[in-house]
A = this chain, B = another copy of it.
Amino acid sequence: MFRIAVDVLGGDGAPDVPIEAAIAVGKEQNVEIALLGPEEIIRDRLRRISGTTGLAVKIVHAPRTISGSEAQVKAIRTQRDSSIVRGFELLRSGEVDALVSAGSTGALMAGGLLIGGRMPGISRPALPVCAPSVTGGRVVLLDVGVNPDAKPHHLLQYAVMGIVYSRGLLKVRDPAVYLLNIGEEEGKGNELARAAYRLMRCSLGNAFRGNIEARDILSGKADVVVTDGFTGNVTLKCIEGVAAILFGALKKELKATFRTKIAGILARPAFVRVKNALDYSEYGGVPLLGLNTLCIKCHGSSNAKAFANGIRVALSALESRFLDAIREGVAGLKPSEEAEEANHGDQNSD
């Protein structure tokens, strides 16, 4: 039976959303749940939910959380009673198999690195996003914000982690990996993209399909899109921003005349379907990549349904031996002169 730690204090809906989600998954699956948060509050909430007797749920007292605005490395070192520190300590000691949290990405990444450690063979951890494509599939875009100054071999390692993600969690048999670039031809892009292209070409074999432009990320042709944390974060926020602006502008225009008001009312189901299809927060959580321990990060605004999906992602990752697959993927990278050189440079400069 897998054992999942659930951070009760992270996210906008804390503590109710994580508790409700944990109980829902506990009822449906053969899983042991550790709820991390203030004991009294959790006890009080559990009393109000029916059907919890007989579930394998325990409480791990953690009276406080670490917010996104704190100095996170310092917070991890000093706030030993926080839910995030307790969670990673349980992971490190092997008392749980995964941690699921809607808390601050920065605090979770800091906790993962300082307590559980970075995975051997991975130079930099990465944050992926799992976005819906127009063809109904999903595309893994990474890194979207951990490492703004990436090197070519970091991008190669992201590609390996993206492939494991796509295979293990999205069940894509033969993931198509692309490098985000400003043109499709080889030789396009900045220094980083040109060097990463050569490295991916010689190390990933047929999985690497070349460059992809930003307009095609959601087109369905890519299963994995690799980029540095700066470009990835800009891209993600651009997608969010443009979608919000377009929906906002349409909403306003539909209110302009009687005719379009009627249209707006009739069109509601279509709008809702498109919004839901494009809302990647619905898909649960994403694994923080490159850590020695398995942490699933849910969107801060997750409702109980989304958070429960995040717990299911953790179970799916455990069933597919997600961390082992990344270890094997990194170990299996074909050695190349360029990669050797890059790794050598990394050891000196990182």
Contact = CB atoms under 8 A, between A and B. Distances in A.
B274 A266 contact: no
Contacts of A191: 149
Interface stretch (A18-26, A202-210, A245-253, A306-314): A245-253
Given A239-B238, A243-B246, A267 B274 contact: no
Interface in A182-233: 182, 189-191, 193, 213-219, 228-231, 233
Find the residue from A214, A216, A234, A241 having the highest chain B CB count within 10 A: A234
A278 B253 CA distance: 13
B257 A269 contact: yes
Nearest to A150: B190
A22 B269 CA distance: 47
24 contacts: A148-B193, A180-B234, A182-B234, A190-B228, A214-B235, A214-B237, A215-B237, A217-B241, A219-B245, A234-B234, A234-B235, A243-B246, A246-B247, A246-B274, A250-B250, A250-B271, A250-B274, A253-B269, A253-B273, A253-B274, A254-B267, A256-B270, A260-B267, A264-B267
Given A148-B190, A182-B145, A190-B148, A234 B249 contact: no
A189 B259 CA distance: 47
Interface of A: 134, 145, 148-149, 180, 182, 189-191, 193, 213-219, 228-231, 233-250, 253-254, 256-257, 259-260, 262-267, 269-271, 273-274, 277-278
A266 B263 contact: yes
Given A214-B238, A241-B217, A260-B269, A230 B182 contact: yes
Nearest to A133: B245
Contacts of A216: 241
A342 B250 CA distance: 46
A235 B241 CA distance: 11
- By DSSP majority rule, is chain A's interface helix, strand, loop, or mixed? helix
A105 to B, nearest CB: 12
B218 A242 contact: yes
Contacts of A193: 148, 230
A263 B259 contact: no
A190 B182 CA distance: 19
Contact of A249 (B264, B266, B277): B277
A248 B215 CA distance: 13
Nearest to A250: B274
A205 to B, nearest CB: 26
A246 B246 contact: yes
Contacts of A180: 234
